[in-house]
Structure 1
């Protein structure tokens, strides 16, 4: 039995990055031997075990053979005779197909170290085409490392798209990889990689349609809507904003693209066009509620937030009610952060002031200070309570605006 450190832990050490998780591969052992040594079996699809003390994952060396569609369509073979190189050969990219022995020496049969130095993603073998999740993983790694893609690897990815393999991706897995990519340093690299191979048009046609849509050059020097959205997402990432804000940044301008019938059949409404597109994307990806709700809010109301200084106090109160800001102020503050990212995600606007956010925060606080309970007790006609409270809050907003103007 021989044990090797493998995958991301080896890659990140060679890059001089902190190692978050360590995975191990065990060569020359059986499942029975692992259990006898105190390891706890946890793998459902292939033999993986947890170390009795460190709880790190130890997997038996294995090979995989394509037997169906999608990332679960594989037959796994794990046995003592499977070699380390055979196990590494089934991995996706050369930079992830390295191992480290006990003495610190690196086993690198596919040139992973050279590709790290060249900052290049390259597939290990043509078996790359057998698992569409590998496209998503490569794109996610692009957001983390900002590497380029080897031409031959891009050709394989394009082949996978044209042959429909991407269409077999499971919704939850798509969201899992996209969400993780959004939390990387430069998410735009993920979406650019997906666009380059054609996968974005298949998994998120609403987003893919943004490229080539022009905008007013005085507001958007970058002109292209898709380019702008990537700047917004990258700004949100650079500021360490949470996932719901980053996803809202991705979705905020979906309505600017013409709505093709194959994206949203039967939509004829005049509600902000992006809202049903956001809802369709969230339903298809099964996006969690916190991300979905914020994305819908930002898509629907970010232009109102941008115009906050021009809006009447009653209109601002309507905005608060529409966004449920009084009951969920933290989510409303996240919307303001997304609007800041929208403003500053433009060429030359990276440090632009955004007084609208502070204004709306103060006005929301003023509205929240209204004693709704006292108004309710003083109101003999209970049916009038909501309107009386609304009027009082509009008055509080107006008073706060006058006070701020006088300072």
Structure 2
């Protein structure tokens, strides 16, 4: 019985980047042998064991045979005589198909180390096309390692395009699509994930709501890049600079989705597009089973983002109503999230990447002014029900007006 460190941990060690998780493969063992050594068995399709002290996963060496469609359409075979090379062959990319023994000796039957040196994402074997999820995984790895100059090998990209044309992606579950997409959104360059999916034809199948944005123009006066799809991914890129929150990044990704509904004869203008976009975003979130906090922020931003661009010109009454609509009093973090998203939207344009965006600071400042109004003091005065809300609104409006006047005087004197 021999134990090997495999997959991402080996890859990351060679790349000299932090190792997040460690996976192990056990060659020459049976379930009974593992249990006798104190490992706890989990998993139904094939035996995976939890180490009795370090809590890490140890899987018996195995091979897979394609027997059906989709991610789960495999029969797994494990036995003591399955070799390490056979186990590694079933993996997606060569950089993930390496192993190390206890002495640190590298086992690299598919030249993963060479591909790391050449910064290539290359499939291990023709069996790559048996699992449609691998199209998304390669796109995610492209996003994860873009900052290290990794690129997809031509033959792998060609195979991905073939899989899309053959309709393999229709066998993916929406839960798996969201899982890969959410991981990509948390990467350093999530826009690369969507560019790769678009290049191989997968974006129009998986996210037609976004795919259709490419080729739709916006007014050059406001959008020098013109193309709405390009603007969407440029905004997503900027959101990464400003936040590591998946809620912020996903809402930024969705903010302009409704422009696909604008009739061609109205291009490049998109009148009243924000409110109409809510139904599209809800549909996308339903399809992917997007978590509630992520979903809610995306809906709010889609509906209201255009109004925030002109927030400094709006009456103070509207500003307080805006804070009410986003439930800012109970969820104050939403103000910061929205300020970041709208800044990413504004700076996600060609030539405007480094521009100042004062509306975000205005939103933050005025909210802090309004938040100082005490609900407790109003209740102590004996007001009840709707009267409490009305008095709160009145005082918040007054607090913002007074604060803005004082702030303006300070600027004049400085």
TM-score, normalized by the shorter chain, greater than 0.5? yes
The residue number in structure 2 matching 1:346 is: 349
Contact 1:221 1:346 in 2 (8 A): yes
Deviation at 1:165, TM superposition (A): 2.1
Q: 1:335 aligns with which of 330, 335, 338?
A: 338
Deviation string 1:257-311 (CA, Å, 9 cap, x unpaired) is 2369xxxxxxxx9762222111111110000011111111111111211111111
The residue number in structure 2 matching 1:316 is: 319
5+ residue gaps, structure 1, are: 261-268
Deviation at 1:29, TM superposition (A): 0.9
2:183 paired with 1:186: no
1:79-94 aligned within 5 A? 79-94=79-94
The residue number in structure 2 matching 1:134 is: 134
Report SS of the residue matched to 1:156.
helix
CA distance in 2 between counterparts of 1:278 and 1:354 reads: 26
Q: 1:392 to 1:167 in 2, by over 3 A?
A: same
CA distance in 2 between counterparts of 1:403 and 1:330 reads: 25
Q: 1:99 to 1:371 in 2, by over 3 A?
A: closer
Q: Once structures 1 and 2 are overlaid, which stretch shifts more, 172-181 or 151-160?
A: 151-160
Contact 1:215 1:224 in 2 (8 A): yes
RMSD, matched Cα: 2.1
CA distance in 1 between counterparts of 2:386 and 2:39 reads: 66
The residue number in structure 2 matching 1:263 is: none
Deviation at 1:116, TM superposition (A): 1.6
CA distance in 2 between counterparts of 1:382 and 1:331 reads: 26
The residue number in structure 1 matching 2:31 is: 31
Contact 2:144 2:189 in 1 (8 A): yes
Deviation at 1:375, TM superposition (A): 4.2
Report SS of the residue matched to 1:64.
strand
The residue number in structure 1 matching 2:214 is: 211
The residue number in structure 1 matching 2:364 is: 361
Deviation at 1:325, TM superposition (A): 1.4
CA distance in 2 between counterparts of 1:404 and 1:255 reads: 38
Report SS of the residue matched to 1:213.
coil
Contact 1:27 1:84 in 2 (8 A): yes
Contact 1:326 1:364 in 2 (8 A): no
Q: 1:9 to 1:382 in 2, by over 3 A?
A: closer
CA distance in 1 between counterparts of 2:104 and 2:385 reads: 76
The residue number in structure 1 matching 2:156 is: 153
2:304 paired with 1:304: no
Deviation at 1:382, TM superposition (A): 4.7
1:211-230 aligned within 5 A? 211-230=214-233
Q: 1:376 to 1:271 in 2, by over 3 A?
A: farther
CA distance in 2 between counterparts of 1:5 and 1:226 reads: 41
Report SS of the residue matched to 1:272.
helix
TM-score w.r.t. length of structure 1: 0.92
Contact 1:370 1:393 in 2 (8 A): yes
CA distance in 1 between counterparts of 2:404 and 2:171 reads: 54
Q: Once structures 1 and 2 are overlaid, which stretch shifts more, 337-346 or 179-188?
A: 337-346
CA distance in 1 between counterparts of 2:302 and 2:243 reads: 21
Contact 2:213 2:228 in 1 (8 A): yes
Q: 1:288 aligns with which of 278, 288, 291?
A: 291
5+ residue gaps, structure 2, are: 264-271
Q: 1:272 aligns with which of 275, 283, 292?
A: 275
Report SS of the residue matched to 2:25.
strand
Deviation at 1:167, TM superposition (A): 1.7
CA distance in 2 between counterparts of 1:251 and 1:163 reads: 28
TM-score w.r.t. length of structure 2: 0.90
